[in-house]
Structure 1
């Protein structure tokens, strides 16, 4: 179900009402409705859509609560200071009723993603469970029906489980099984978080991956080169981050807390190698779970990621 923007989320410290150099995001955000037709001759600014859904997490036997993530993240983002003049438009959230198939909600979200791609330079997709990634893919494929799609995921998990329907652990298998013109690259894989069967499937499908141990202290030149070649070899890049890749000391509010996870600055360094490409039209961040958060720490971290991505 599509819900229009909740404007009362957008509040924060007021430093000035007249000096734009002291403005924060809540003072400049726009509000829109993606169900309404709107033509644009030029893509500009950033669209923001929430995926307030954790039914896929429940189906995947994870800790429910990520459906509260989008509003928590928007609230944290609202009070961050403006840099530059990039316009941000909040398009509200998509919610899910548990008596309907998850795939229907993913299709609805995908339609909004496709529309936002047509309007904006980039679109931020805020989860919610990581089943947001399959919905993100569907929206990208609708907007780019013939192009090759390279999926880049920063994640501790492959999320290529074999199930009869969508869950938060199946998105990337669904993409690989349905689309011969898409492939998959994962950064931050933990050996202890994936069964041997998932590694076997990755090898069968020629999935590229980098272990978390290779990223703990720096992004090495070989990894940088691998990212650059991957981007070069595809027409469109789908970029997604699962917050459970980050060590639980920095991101306790997730559905599957990480032990020996990545430091946030490494995630930012990886993102800086990906986001500047004009092939990246959408960026999703999944699995922020306010139910298990501490001092809103994970929501603030996610909001700061989006803040850096705009800059």
Structure 2
């Protein structure tokens, strides 16, 4: 169910009420309704859309609470300085009240497509990583004939075989339903994926990089792998699961990571992907405020989005 933005979430410290050089995001945010039809001549700025859903996490037997992630991210993002002076519009959240998760994902996907039609960038705030399949539905609706390259920074493949959507099935659903897609995963942990998932990855030609290869720096071969993948596709769908990051930095997630990645390295990888004109949507999943410490994970997610604004 689509809910319009909660304007009361957008508060923060006021250093000046008139001088824009002192403004923070809460002072410049706009609000909109994605169900209203608009005549858009030129895409501008950033759209924000929350996926306040953790039903997929429940079905995947993870820790509940990620549905509170979007609003926690907003609160952290609101107080960050508005350095880019880019127009940002908050469109609120989609919540899950349907009999099946797929119906909520379809509703969300349609709203994603509408945001793509309005904005240069659309930031999608999770919620469980079933947001990725919903994101894909929106990207495919917006680009019906394009070759879609899916890049996921994640400790897990999320290609489980299940009868219905969960937070662990998104990328299998995409690959099985759409022959005009390919999948690259950065940060895979050996201890987080079964042999069956590795075998499926090899059978489907999924490209992946182990977390062990990303502990200290982004090596030239990995940079080349990312650049080649982007080059070979018309559109790039980019998503990050916060459980790829070491639990010392991101304790508030649905499944914490040991031997996870450092945030700066994740940011470095993202900054090699996002500047491409092929990237119109960016989702970050699995921020779970119920298990967070000092809002550490929500603040980190908000800072990622802050750095991603072009």
Q: Is residue 2:155 matched to residue 1:161?
A: no
1:205 Cα offset (Å):
0.2
Match of 2:88 in 1: 88
Q: Secondary structure at the match of 2:73?
A: helix
1:274 Cα offset (Å):
0.1
1:167 Cα offset (Å):
0.1
Distance 2:2 2:242 in 1: 24
Distance 1:85 1:247 in 2: 32
1:100 Cα offset (Å):
1.2
Residues 229-264 of structure 1: per-residue CA shift (max 9 Å, x gap): 000000000000000000000000000000000000
Q: Secondary structure at the match of 1:262?
A: coil
Distance 2:83 2:259 in 1: 33
How do 1:70-85 and structure 2 match up within 5 A?
Answer: 70-85=70-85
Distance 2:268 2:208 in 1: 17
1:193 Cα offset (Å):
0.1
Q: Secondary structure at the match of 2:76?
A: helix
Match of 2:224 in 1: 225
Distance 1:100 1:164 in 2: 15
Normalized against structure 2, the TM-score is what?
0.99
Distance 1:68 1:165 in 2: 23
Match of 2:57 in 1: 57
Match of 1:282 in 2: 281
Q: Is residue 2:305 matched to residue 1:306?
A: yes
1:3 Cα offset (Å):
0.4
Q: Secondary structure at the match of 1:164?
A: coil
Match of 1:262 in 2: 261
Match of 1:206 in 2: 205
Match of 2:241 in 1: 242
Match of 1:41 in 2: 41
Distance 2:285 2:178 in 1: 22
Match of 1:215 in 2: 214
1:119 Cα offset (Å):
0.2
Q: Is residue 2:135 matched to residue 1:136?
A: yes
Distance 1:39 1:139 in 2: 19
- When the two chains are superposed, the root-mean-square deviation of aligned CA atoms in Å is 0.6
Q: Is residue 2:1 matched to residue 1:19?
A: no
1:85 Cα offset (Å):
2.0
Match of 2:66 in 1: 66
Q: Secondary structure at the match of 1:273?
A: helix
Match of 2:151 in 1: 152
Distance 1:38 1:163 in 2: 38
Match of 2:109 in 1: 110
Q: Secondary structure at the match of 2:77?
A: helix
Match of 1:8 in 2: 8
Structure 1 segments of 4+ aligned residues over 4 angstroms from their partners = none
Match of 2:183 in 1: 184
1:164 Cα offset (Å):
0.3
Q: How many pairs align?
A: 310
Q: Identify unmatched segments of 5+ residues in structure 2.
A: none
Q: Secondary structure at the match of 2:273?
A: coil
Distance 1:221 1:22 in 2: 39
Residues 42-93 of structure 1: per-residue CA shift (max 9 Å, x gap): 0010000000000000000000000000000001000000112211000000
Distance 1:129 1:151 in 2: 17
1:39 Cα offset (Å):
1.5
